[in-house]
Structure 1
Amino acid sequence: MRGSTVGLQWVYSGSTVALQWLYSGSTMNKRRCELHGQIEKRRTNDEQMTNKRRTNDEQMTNKRRTNDEQMTNK
């Protein structure tokens, strides 16, 4: 791990005390890229389910809108 440091720091917030990892150097960037890659992979796998969910949500909102309009017009 040349060129990067990893540290542990106590963080005080009101009455709670928490441990926080501090990253500096290239390790944090590498982890961000790996996490981003995993997120991208997950996003492409769930794309069909997301499209189904989106159309269902749109249909539900359209139904609600027409019902609300009918109720207000009465």
Structure 2
Amino acid sequence: MSNMKRWMAEVGLTHRQLAVQLHQSPASVTQKVNSHTHWQRRDCAALREQYGLSSDFVQDLIPYEEAFPKRPREVA
């Protein structure tokens, strides 16, 4: 699963919502999220500005866990 697909599922963001924010068609965003098409520089810039996501994360160049490390469980 791509980083973006996992991140979108975790934050509850749909392909259609992201498409509106990026001024693209939902089909185009779906292709990018499913790694069938590459993310463009302007996509990465918009995702960085709006959500703080690095281009390395968006393009799956780093593992998801590196960008969003799990919090240690609280000890009771």
Question: So what's the TM-score if we normalise by structure 2?
Answer: 0.24
Which structure has more relative contact order (CA 8 Å, sep 6+)? It is 2
Greater strand content: 1
Greater helix content: 1
Structure of higher CA gyration radius? 1
